[in-house]
Structure 1
Amino acid sequence: MKKKGLLIAFMMVFALTAALTGCSGGKSGNGGNAAPNNGSTNKAESNSAGNYTSAKLSGKVTFLTNRTDMIGKEYDDYVKRFNEKYPDIQIEFEASQTDYNQQIKVRMASGELPDLMFIPDIPNSDLPKYFAPLDDLDLSAEVTFKDFKSFDGKLYGITTGNSTSGIIYNKQAFADAGITEIPKTWDEFLEACEKLKQNGVIPLSSNFKDKWPLGSWVFDMPRVIENNKDFPNARLNMDEPFTMDNGYGKAMSLLRTLAEKGYLEKDINSTNWEQSKKDVANGKMGMYFLGNWVINQVIGVGAESDDIGFFPLPFDNSGEIRAAFNPDFFYAVSKDSKNLEATKAFLTWMLEDSGYEDFAGFISPLEGRESKLTQLAEFQATGVELQEGTPDDPKVIEISNKAQIDLPAIAQEFVLAKDPQSVLDKWNKAWAKAKQDLGY
């Protein structure tokens, strides 16, 4: 993905006075239906002006989604609107009730993939084994983070949206605790946490037990601390990638400090994700450290938009302000779909017309699209430097999988351990062995 295009997409969020035009690209002129017909019809219907109004596609499309909260709600509206254009395509949503990544891997092994899904953490070299190329989608602009899920010159995954990690906070809770300015250093952040705690508010909701909400601490913060967007891939040249004085140890130490000072949930081993959103919305909890995608979810359970703010987490006392900028899940289409063209038509509609990125609080997956999330303006006003992510090195993925590296789980161990160094030693040993066994 071109860095210039991504920066343009982000800066448009903040209503710059310059007129920015999104790059045109991805045009195939065939409505995304270049693939062979697999059981569905493919004829176009035109109106009196000669413009195509709909493609005569039919078939059933199954979409395995992690957004179980949208089933029976927003997804129903999506289907209604989609069927106005494609009346003969049936959309069915499957809810992922377990670990999505693991569920997809099980279905990959069994050869029973849904038509549309999100890509799990597999090497890009494996993408052609399971997924159909998406270069033929008829899109109005280039997709962002294109290099992340491509192989051998073909695109296999398109991000559902992009986000940056930061502190989502309840402005009223801050005001009631006497916090008049957002923290710009780590010490100031700890002071704000103490004021919230003294005022009867849980400073930061970590959802520690659920594990996945710790992702920003271990996927984003290490490279931000190191000021090296490719730091996760630098592990390939390390036998001991987890040390107290590098990005991983420092990031996990920040989380451990918050736990030791009582700034997380009273019982971090008993948390509830859905309830936490309500608690941040009503001010019982003061903050999250997550991506901007959670902002609309907090607003959706009762908070006024004006009461929810967003600022970068100050990770030290230097005054430097950096934050990670990443894609979220990547859409993919099963290469064995019986209704390949219909599935691609639905994916194209999701990217172009659904409005999912605004509902989910994402920055658009298409370059040049303006976001409606006003909290991003507050975030950018801090002068934060956005650090774009880079694709994972396949060798790093291979080593991590063989060593069974689960960074959020390691963070859990680190925070709870009497001796956090022993946790790092344990996983350094596993990493080194896997690296040696694989010949790296």
Structure 2
Amino acid sequence: MRNKLFSLSFVMVMILSSTLAGCGSNNGNSTNNGASATDKPAATNTETTGGDTTSNATAEPAAGADISGKITFLTNRTDMIGKEYDEYLKRFNEKYPNVKVEFEASQTDYNQQAKVRMASGELPDVMFIPTIPNSDLPKYFASLDDLGLNDQITFKDFKSFDGKLYGITTGNSTSGIVYNKKAFTDAGITETPKTWDEFLAACEKLKAKGVIPLSSNFKDKWPLGTWAYDTPRLIAGNPDFPNEKLNSETPFTMDNGYGKAFSLLKELNEKGYLEKDINSTNWEQSKKDIASGKFAMYYLGNWVINQVIGVGAPSDDVGFFPFPYDNSGKPSATLSPDFFYAVAKNSKNLEAAKAFVKWMIEDSGYEDFAGFISPLKGKESNLAQLKEFQATGVELVEGTVDDAKVTEIGNKAQLDLPAVVQEFVLAKDPQTVLDKWNKAWAKAKKDLGY
């Protein structure tokens, strides 16, 4: 039975490298589909309005001139410094004219830089939460329960501890089929597939037209995260499916979420619906090939939509629909969060910092710029592709937090799920691949006393 409330863990496989043109963090057990981070250097840009009045109020942020002070926001979005952030600040200051905001660009690995700042005790007023245990959140960050958003936001429990909220996601990503509409039309495909059989039929039409149906980017491995993390939990009908490995000595079987998901990709490869040589794919070139219609589809996160448009595809030619992994005709897809906003516990202008975070969530429109689904439940996207996706009635499955024990066992077993997908697809007898990793899992689990 499908669980309603939303997911993915997407492994997050990634903070994707800059070749991805920017990915965010994934905070669940799935593949990272975020598209917010950018590591290119950029100078810090400061926009100022108002004074430096200190305020440590913890009540819900007041409006307008009642709030004043200077705050700093440490961001990974170096590409927005001096551009979109300037526009955001002008609009923010229309509501909060006496708050001065400085945008500080992370010049290196954001996660590492944030941890260094935390260790030094010199935190910016507003930042994204790095990878730390939730039990450490109260040491560094202020509770955000007083913003009045608790019942409206997705992934409320991801950055909470002891019943208090410390982080709010900047936006969410989902996975699905990003496709070239013109390629579909030229191949005589008049409706997007709603079942696996319809999907295979569409692939056959595309192949007959000389179009490669699906770009897998098999060699690069990280794009296989959708097959390794998203699809298994959807097939299992359980957002917490990856964490259930803790209760098994043989978590990988042909008839569970893992085996069935991996088998779908293997079938596509055997039918000739992937790249002709899956061992020599090229990520950057694939975006251009999708844009031109040489390739028809990606199975990736919505973050890639703007990248395909960015290399030349007209926006009207790019569509997005749920991946039909079975024949039920009932679409579902995983949902995963990107980075989480947080406010430093020791901020000298706590009220101003919280007001800025709330404004970014409710009023900035950042989710549309970044290609995200809003962190606010039920808020419809302004992006045409996401509107198309949501119009299918897709059930979004909100991911669960990674179980620390599952992560520990996986690390000891040297388990790399996208690499397992590669082995499975190429194997003459895929059962031997599952047996191999079941053995590694069981040994690691035993060695760790679980």
- Interval of TM-score (by shorter of Structure 1 and Structure 2): 0.7 to 0.9
Distance 2:200 2:335 in 1: 26
Give the Cα separation in 2 of the matches to 1:105 and 1:51.
30
Query: How far is the alpha carbon of 1:435 from its aligned partner?
Result: 2.2
For residues 6-45 of structure 1, the aligned pairs below 5 Å read: 41-42=53-54
- Could you tell me how far apart the structure 1 residues matched to 2:328 and 2:282 are? 33
Question: Structure 2 counterpart of 1:61, which letter?
Answer: F
**Deviation string, structure 1 residues 215-238 (Cα, Å, up to 9, x no partner):** 221221111112223222222211
Instruction: Name 2:100's counterpart in structure 1.
Output: 88
In structure 1, what is the Cα distance between the partners aligned to 2:153 and 2:143? 14
**How far is 1:368 from its partner?**
4.4
Deviates more, 1:340-349 or 1:197-206: 340-349
Mapped pair 1:357 → 2:367 = yes
Correspondence for 2:245:
235
**Is residue 53–residue 349 contact of structure 2 (8 Å, CA) maintained in 1?**
no
CA gap 1:343/1:383 in 2 versus in 1, 3 angstroms: closer
Deviations 1:303-361 (A, max 9, x none): 33332222222223x33433223232131437577667365454333212321112223
Query: Deviations for 1:131-179, whole angstroms, at most 9, x for unmatched residues?
Result: 5433344659732221222121122322222343221211111111222
1:250 equivalent to 2:257? Answer no
Q: How far 1:370 moved relative to its partner?
A: 3.1
Q: Is the 8 A contact 2:180 2:291 kept in 1?
A: yes
Q: Is the 8 A contact 1:230 1:390 kept in 2?
A: yes
2:65 counterpart (42, 53, 74):
53
Corresponding position of 2:320: 310
Q: Is 1:63 aligned to 2:75, yes or no?
A: yes
Describe the superposition over 1:186-238 as per-residue Cα deviations: whole angstroms up to 9, x where unpaired.
23322322332332323222233443332221221111112223222222211
Deviations 1:240-284 (CA, angstroms, capped at 9, x unpaired) = 111222111211222233334443334545545454334323323
- Please state whether the residue corresponding to 2:67 is helix, strand or coil: strand
Specify the alignment match of 1:144 in structure 2.
Answer: 154
CA 1:4–1:231 in 2, change beyond 3 Å: closer, same or farther?
Answer: closer
2:196 corresponds to: 186
In structure 2, how many angstroms separate the alpha carbons of the residues matched to 1:409 and 1:340? 47
Unaligned runs of 5+ in 2: 7-51, 57-61
1:220 is aligned with what amino acid?
D
The equivalent of 1:328 in structure 2 is 337
Q: 1:123 to 1:234 in 2, by over 3 A?
A: farther
Judged with a 3 Å threshold, the aligned counterparts in structure 2 of structure 1 residues 92 and 274 are, in CA distance, closer, same or farther, namely farther
Which residue number in structure 2 is paired with residue 170 of structure 1?
180
> Do 1:128 and 1:156's aligned partners in 2 also have CA atoms closer than 8 Å?
yes
- Find the aligned partners of 1:87 and 1:335 in 2 and give their Cα distance: 17
Letter in 2 for 1:322: P
- Correspondence for 1:211: 221
3-state SS of the aligned residue for 1:288?
strand
Aligned match for 1:226, one of 225, 236, 241: 236
Tell me the TM-score normalized by structure 2.
Answer: 0.73
Kept after mapping to 2: 8 A contact 1:312/1:379: yes
Cα deviations across residues 378-408 of structure 1 (Å, max 9, x unaligned)? Answer: 4345454443333333433333344343322
**Residue of structure 1 in register with 2:165 after alignment:** 155
Counterpart position of 2:32:
none
For residues 104 and 247 of structure 1, the distance between their equivalents in structure 2, rounded to whole angstroms, comes to 37
Specify the SS of the correspondent of 2:372.
coil
2:191 & 2:328 partners in 1: Cα distance? 14
Q: Please, what TM-score do these two structures have when normalized by structure 1?
A: 0.75
Tell me which amino acid in the other structure corresponds to 1:258. Answer: L
Q: Distance in 1 between matches of 2:98 and 2:431?
A: 57
Distance 1:197 1:4, change over 3 A: closer
Task: Name the counterpart of 1:284.
Answer: 294
- Corresponding residue for residue 413 of structure 1: 423
Alignment pair present for 1:295 and 2:305: yes
Judged with a 3 Å threshold, the aligned counterparts in structure 2 of structure 1 residues 404 and 154 are, in CA distance, closer, same or farther, namely farther
CA–CA distance in structure 2, aligned partners of residues 405 and 114 of structure 1: 35
> 2:70·2:349 contact (CA, 8 Å) conserved in 1?
no
1:101-116 equivalence runs, <5 A: 103=112, 107=116, 115=124
State the Cα RMSD in Å. 3.7
- Give the whole-Å Cα distance in 1 for the aligned partners of 2:156 and 2:214: 34
Alpha-carbon distance between aligned partners in 2 of 1:319 and 1:271, rounded to the nearest angstrom: 32
Q: Which runs of 5+ in 1 are unaligned?
A: 7-39, 45-49
CA contact (8 A) 1:162 1:328 kept: yes
Q: Which residue of 1 aligns with 2:27?
A: none
Is 1:162–1:325's contact at 8 Å kept on the other side of the alignment?
Answer: no
Work out whether residues 163 and 293 of structure 1, in 8 Å CA contact, stay in contact via their aligned partners in 2.
yes
Identity %: 67
